[in-house]
Amino acid sequence: MAARPAAVCSKACSKGSPTRPDHRARKNAGAVKFAPLHIISMLTMLQRGMENFAFEISDTARLIRREANRRVAFLGATRAQWRVLKWLAHTGGNLRQIELADALDVEPISLCRMIDRLEEAGLVERRRDEADRRAWRIHLTDKATPIVAELDAVSTAFNADILTGIPAADRDVARRVLAAIREKLGRFEQGLEQAS
């Protein structure tokens, strides 16, 4: 079949179609309105994401972070700062700043800001590394000891609240699944590192 001349096609489009609203007439109040394509794409992605296991884990982690921040707010700390204090307490409170950033999987500049705030609050202090004067080691102060103990109590209560009503067998299954996912992700990471 021969193609219709461009002029005829344009003319036909300008008149509209009996089965499709005229694209110029959509500007009128009574015209059919269509959702922008980027909104449709976003909704489709969200719908698919809801069926995605990784999305469910990520969203659960988001809710945990938000609730944890709410629960520790009375101590003047955030969950991220609590992690710094907890890790220092766990390791004896004597880590290089770069080691702490690696352990917490945060950017050094982000950790630096957290350390600044904790130092201003009198909970940690920076000391020069005796083996390398260019490096800093982060130490907990005596003032931090009762704060860490209280944060631990909040954490214990929080975990108990989350798991209340969930049978022990289901908890064990969840832990095994998460452990398997972590192991697999670790293998992915090692593969990427070897490839690079």
DSSP summary character for residue 17:
B
Checking if the pLDDT of 61 tops 60, the result is yes
pLDDT, residue 15, reads 43
Can you say whether residue 165 is alpha, beta or left, with left for phi > 0 and alpha for psi between -120 and 50 degrees? left
Question: What is the spatial distance between Cα 14 and Cα 49, in angstroms, rounded to a whole number?
Answer: 40
* CATH of the domain spanning 78-160, picked from 3.30.70.100, 1.20.1630.10, 1.10.10.10, 3.40.50.1100: 1.10.10.10
Question: What is the spatial distance between Cα 28 and Cα 99, in angstroms, rounded to a whole number?
Answer: 63
pLDDT, residue 45, reads 55
Indicate yes or no: pTM above 0.85: no
Tell me if 96 sits within 8 A of 136, measured CB to CB: yes
State pLDDT tens for residues 99-156. Answer: 889 988 899 899 999 999 999 999 999 988 877 777 888 999 999 999 899 988 999 9
State pLDDT tens for residues 4-56. Answer: 444 434 444 444 444 444 444 444 545 455 556 555 555 565 555 556 888 89
Question: What is the spatial distance between Cα 118 and Cα 102, in angstroms, rounded to a whole number?
Answer: 18
Residue with tokens 């996912």: 181
Q: Which residue has the higher pLDDT, 35 or 76?
A: 76
The type of residue at 47 is Q
The type of residue at 16 is G
Q: Which two tokens stand for residue 103?
A: 């352990």
pLDDT, residue 48, reads 58
Tell me if 180 sits within 8 A of 174, measured CB to CB: no
Give the residue extent of every domain in the chain. Answer: 78-160
List beta partners, residue 20.
Answer: 17
